[in-house]
């Protein structure tokens, strides 16, 4: 039988129906965790995923990260079913392809939307989850950032800035929540998810060409 180091643990994944989020949900379930799949509007996909995850105790919860009340309700549902929370993965995020030199196309509404979801959403999710995590043995928060936060190369300049903010925020949260809750970030390169496959082909090829293996990560 494969090892299940997370047996008996409970995990919440925001953006759980996205390409990276769905893969995280599967990996956590395979490791033995009961997984709450957080979604914004993809309720049907989240429900379908429940039947694909190994193990039991899984849930599909509406978790729009820009809605603090909805996040609080979702965590309350986890509390009611499991009475614990050990792991929060902040995988929810958005972007839109805009060439870095085209500042006019990067309008105020898009800037606000990206920062609301990618930065404020992390804070809101952590704020909602921490009380339940602290009632137990503490836990771990994983923020899904991006290499774009370091390289300043990505789908648009505000997306890059938002991920740099997530990296900085992770350090601040790690200090604020220590020692019972650890906070770390993971920065993938370009992963060939369904969303990425819908972006500009020439940009995708350029990004792949910048990697040592000249290819994107498998989605």
**pLDDT given for residue 1 in this prediction:** 45
**pLDDT given for residue 189 in this prediction:** 75
Find the largest Cα–Cα distance for the chain: 56
**pLDDT given for residue 49 in this prediction:** 98
Averaged pLDDT, 148-175? 97
Is residue 80 over pLDDT 60?
yes
Tell me the C-alpha distance between 103 and 158, whole Å.
Answer: 10
Of 192 and 72, the one with more pLDDT: 72
Tell me the C-alpha distance between 127 and 198, whole Å.
Answer: 33
Residues annotated as part of the active site: 159
Is residue 128 over pLDDT 50?
yes
**pLDDT given for residue 3 in this prediction:** 82
Place of tokens 């938002």: 162
CATH homologous superfamily for the domain 10-188:
NAD(P)-binding Rossmann-like Domain (3.40.50.720)
Question: What are the sequence ranges of the domains in the chain?
Answer: 10-188
**pLDDT given for residue 218 in this prediction:** 46
Band of residue 195 on the pLDDT scale cut at 50, 70, 90: low
142: left (phi over 0), alpha (psi -120 to 50) or beta: beta
Is residue 13 over pLDDT 70?
yes
Tell me the C-alpha distance between 50 and 122, whole Å.
Answer: 24
**pLDDT given for residue 65 in this prediction:** 98
Residues of 96-125 as b/e, b for ≥16 C-beta within 10 angstroms? eebeeeeeeebeeebeebbbebbbbbbbbb
**pLDDT given for residue 209 in this prediction:** 58
Place of tokens 């799949």: 37
Percentage, residues of the chain above pLDDT 70: 85
**pLDDT given for residue 217 in this prediction:** 43
Of 206 and 185, the one with more pLDDT: 185
Q: What pLDDT, in 10s, does the model give residues 102-119?
A: 999 999 999 999 999 999
Place of tokens 């949900």: 25
Place of tokens 């509404």: 109
**pLDDT given for residue 163 in this prediction:** 98
For residue 125 the two structure tokens come to 């999710």
pTM metric for this prediction: 0.88
Band of residue 20 on the pLDDT scale cut at 50, 70, 90: very high
**pLDDT given for residue 216 in this prediction:** 45
Scanning the chain, the segments in alpha helix (DSSP H) are 19-30, 43-50, 68-82, 108-115, 121-135, 148-151, 157-177, 194-197, 201-209
Lowest model confidence (mean pLDDT) among 79-93, 185-199, 203-217: 203-217
112 — phi, psi (to 5°)?
-65, -40
Q: How far out from the chain centre does Cα 76 lie?
A: 20
Identify the DSSP state of 72.
H
Tell me the C-alpha distance between 65 and 82, whole Å.
Answer: 21
């Amino acid at each position: 039988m494969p090892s299940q180091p997370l047996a008996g643990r409970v995990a919440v994944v925001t953006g759980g129906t996205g390409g990276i989020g769905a893969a995280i949900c599967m990996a956590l379930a395979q490791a033995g965790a009961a997984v709450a799949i957080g979604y914004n509007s993809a309720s049907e996909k989240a429900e379908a995923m429940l039947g694909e995850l190994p193990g039991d105790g899984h849930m599909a919860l509406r978790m729009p990260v820009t809605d603090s009340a909805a996040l609080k309700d979702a965590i309350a549902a986890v509390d009611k079913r499991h009475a614990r929370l050990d792991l929060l993965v902040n995988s929810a995020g958005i972007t839109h392809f805009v060439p870095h030199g085209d500042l006019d196309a990067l309008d105020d509404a898009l800037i606000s939307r990206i920062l609301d979801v990618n930065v404020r959403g992390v804070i809101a999710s952590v704020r909602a989850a921490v009380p339940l995590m602290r009632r137990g043995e503490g836990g771990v928060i994983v923020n899904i950032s991006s290499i774009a936060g370091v390289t300043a190369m990505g789908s648009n300049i505000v997306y890059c800035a938002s991920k740099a903010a997530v990296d900085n925020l992770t350090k601040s949260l790690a200090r604020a929540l220590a020692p019972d809750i650890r906070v770390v970030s993971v920065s993938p390169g370009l992963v060939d998810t369904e969303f990425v496959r819908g972006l500009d082909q020439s940009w995708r090829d350029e990004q792949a060409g910048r990697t040592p293996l000249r290819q994107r990560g498998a989605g």
